[in-house]
Each structure stands twice: as C-alpha cells, then as structure tokens.
Chain A
C-alpha cells in the first residue's frame, strides 16, 4: 500500500461515514459507492449513509497477510450484511476468531486501518465489532 493525502481524503465518505450509493432510477443501494448503477445501468446515483449495524454472513481468519499488516495478524476479514440488506466487506476487531458465527450481530467502530511507516500517513476507517462488546 502506498498512500497519498488526496487519496485518503477522497475516500472519507465511504471509509469514515459508511456512505454507499443509491441508484436514482431503480433505487437499489449498494457499497462501495459507484457513479453508475451496476444493476440497472442508470448513469446517476446519489450518496447515502448506510446503517452502522449488521450481521456477519461470511468471514475468514487470515494468517498469511500482505506486507505491512503483520502487526495485526491474524486478521479477521468479513462480509457483513447491514440492517438494510447492503453488503459490506470489512475487518472484525475485538473478536475471538473461534467464536464468530453466521449471523453474528456487529456494529461499526472507527479504527486505524493502515500506518505508513513511522512518519507517514495514518489511514482510519470503520471496522466492525460484536454488538455486545461495543455497548458494554
């Protein structure tokens, strides 16, 4: 990963507010945001903020990690179905990898995603934690 300030700034909506897109014609909402609708082909979409809670529909405990992610390994990567049915790929945090199950309720929290060396950029974004942990 090589980051630049403009690149991080451009993604602030999707990454920090969990903004997706809604098609102005068919109304389908999806994540990550895209300027055209992948489902009906309509050329206009609008940004919408997505619910921060959902359920785990698939997950993996990743042991062989890309460069720069060793400190956090093993990583838990998951597909989460939000309360409105939109699916989001993210990482799970504060979770026992052996205790994840299909349908586990999770919610988004702000976390550090990537640090570029000792003096470089820090990229923040949303990871998901089990609901009972985040509210306790």
Chain B
C-alpha cells in the first residue's frame, strides 16, 4: 500500500510500483502470472484505458496478462473477486490484484462530475445530482424514519479520525470533534464536508496464490473463506427500500454461507463509509445491528478496537482515505494484516475472522470478502 495522499509527484505507474514493491517483498518474491486492476476514474479523468498493461510495466511484469475491473467506488473489491476466481478456477497460481486511483490532479467540480458517473446518468446526473447529493437524500430519509439526530450521526467521522491517527497509511490523521463535523461546510445538506471521504490518490496490491503454494510465500497465509456479490438499482427512485440496500443483503448472505459463519463470528471488519450514512447501511446490512439501530450502537461506543466486530480500525474511507477504485484492495490488505497481527495501526486483539465490504454507487454494487487466519 502507499499512504493515501495528494500525490502530485506520482502517476499511476509510480503508485503501482511502490505498492507492488512492498507486496513483492512481503510475499518473498512471488511473481504474479496475471494482473487484475481495480480502478474507477482513469478513463473519465485521465483518458487512460488498458490499465493492466500500464500496471504490468510498472511492476516489471511485461507479458503477463490482465484486465481492469470497474464497479465505481467498489472497483477494488470486485477486482479482488475477479483475481480470486482466476486462482480458484486453477487458471493461474499467482495473481496480483492492484487497486489504483488518481483523483487529486483535478478541481473538485471535475472530480464530482466523474464520481457522479456511479449513478444513473440519464435519470439522475442530468439534473445535476452529485454523488454526495444522492447519499444526502438517503441520509435525510434515515434521519426522518429512525429519528436519528444530526449530532449523533457526527460521532462516526470523529471515531474514524481517532482510528486513522494511528495508521501511517491514512490520509487524514488529525483528530476532530462532533462540533467540527456539524460546523464543516455543507456539501449537499445534510451531508457536510466532514461526513465525506476525502479526495486522494493511492495504490494497494494484494497477492493471491493457490492453497498449495501459499506456504511457500508466507508463514502466515490468510485464507479467502467467503465471497459475495450483490446489486441494487442504478437509480434511487425504483429501489424497494433505499434504507435496506439489497446489494449488501445479497452479498452478505452469499459470503456468510460460503464461509459458514454468521455476523457474530466476525472479529474485525473494514466497511465502506464513503459517507456517514453509508457506514450505517453497511453495519445494518451486514447484520452487525438491526435495521435503524446502528447509529445507537455507535453512540453507545460500540465497534471500537476491543469490540466484536471491531470496525474500520484503519480509519475507514472517511479518514484512511478513499482513492475510489483502490479502496477495496486497501480494505482486503488491512484485514489480512489484522489477521496476521502486523497491521501498523490500531489492532483487534488476535482476530481470526475478518470481513471487507466495498461498494460502488449508493450501495449499488457490493462485494464482500471474508478472510480467515
């Protein structure tokens, strides 16, 4: 992983190179036979496609094939699923999953336009609806339906900044207060700046190998125990219930059943808190809280370092950062390090089962990965 930041001195190649060099050392020089790239914005912001080729050269792997996976902000997690499939099918023994995103070179209005492509272009974007605006519609519904006060929904970002304070890879390592959140600039009411993940650049690489080969490359291999995918309507209008995203429900059902675990078995999780409201929907959709109750659990101090599950010890998208298409790979890497016991920030006490939830759009395309030590 690279630290998430405004890397004005680094392009796609330099970021991938740095992340892969670390992963290469960590895996005792495992040489990937194929490359899967998670990325959202290279096409819309940089007019750059064919990213797997760019990545291959950046990693010194010319000749190895691959492709990019796009699922908006959930691209990284979906790329991981594609990489897993290449290994699980027996097609390749060693696969590199690369998450990479560059966002900070452009003004906010341009990035806002590009991010908005995660939603329905013909029926939402045409009205000028931004991605924060769509999430704001859901947040207001949540506040109205469940009676959640604004102040209580400001606790999550404060907590995320506290976690990120200890994470050397995090973009925002400053501590903030509930007052800071409530008084920060309005992006799309009721969403304020500090309810939102920052704009940043970063790359993360995960090396996947077959079970037989894993011991060769690591003394502490981590097993992929469960995987699930799910989709929700591209638009908000035709959703059955905007507060119960079916993409998360379906992905969780599949991942839990494949791993033969239940929500209460999860020790540590990284979830997709692009906005505070997204965190609430993830926690509820995963079954860590009843629908409509996650904000109360957060207010009561749950989901911290010593709780089960401990959630977003990295600082989450809110404070670790959210280089959109790379985020899902960061999450998987962080959970793997939590299970190995070498995550360089806050650690859950000897966890054995971890979960990463990455989603694109307003919980439109969700991937869930369950890892086991």
Contacts and interface: CB of A to CB of B under 8 A. Distances in A.
Given A38-B238, A62-B136, A79-B237, A67 B110 contact: yes
Given A60-B188, A75-B127, A89 B113 contact: no
Given A63-B186, A65-B109, A66-B116, A30 B127 contact: no
A15 B123 CA distance: 8
B7 interface: no
A122 interface: no
Contacts of A91: 127-129
A58 B140 contact: yes
Interface string B161-197: 0000000000000000000000001111111000000
A77 B187 CA distance: 13
B108 interface: yes
Contacts of A102: 144
Interface in A96-136: 97, 102, 113-114, 123, 125, 127
A70 interface: yes
A9 interface: no
B109 A32 contact: no
Interface residues of A, number: 44
A91 B129 CA distance: 8
B237 A88 contact: yes
Contacts of A63: 185-189
A34 B236 CA distance: 14
A62 B130 contact: yes
A89 B112 contact: no
A60 B237 contact: no
Contacts of B235: 32, 89
A69 B124 CA distance: 13
Contacts of A38: 233, 238
Given A32-B120, A60-B189, A66-B112, A1 B137 contact: no
B187 A66 contact: no
A26 to B, nearest CB: 13
Contacts, number: 133
Interface in A41-91: 57-70, 72-73, 75, 77-79, 86-91
A60 B137 contact: yes
B122 A77 contact: no
B44 to A, nearest CB: 11
Contacts of B113: 1, 66-68
Contact of B133 (A11, A30, A60, A67): A60
B127 A57 contact: no
A87 B238 contact: yes
Contacts of A14: 122-123
Nearest to B234: A32
B354 to A, nearest CB: 33
B126 A59 contact: no
A69 B188 contact: no
A90 B188 CA distance: 15
B41 to A, nearest CB: 14
**Central interface residue in B124, B128, B136, B185, by most chain A CB within 10 Å:** B128
Contacts of A32: 120, 122-123, 235, 237-238
B188 A61 contact: yes
Contacts of B108: 64
B281 interface: no
B117 to A, nearest CB: 10
A58 B127 contact: no
B140 A127 contact: no
B128 A69 contact: yes
Contacts of A61: 186, 188-189
A62 B188 contact: yes
B218 interface: no
Interface of B: 108-110, 112-113, 116, 120-130, 132-134, 136-138, 140-141, 144, 185-191, 233, 235-240, 242
23 contacts: A1-B113, A1-B125, A14-B123, A15-B122, A31-B123, A39-B240, A58-B144, A60-B137, A60-B140, A61-B186, A62-B188, A62-B189, A63-B187, A64-B130, A67-B110, A70-B109, A77-B129, A77-B136, A77-B137, A91-B129, A97-B189, A113-B128, A114-B126
Q: Considering the complex of A and B, which 10 residue pairs feature the smallest CB-CB distances, nearest first?
A: A60-B136, A69-B128, A66-B113, A32-B123, A62-B188, A91-B127, A62-B133, A61-B189, A30-B238, A58-B137
Interface of A: 1, 7, 11, 14-15, 30-32, 34, 38-39, 57-70, 72-73, 75, 77-79, 86-91, 97, 102, 113-114, 123, 125, 127
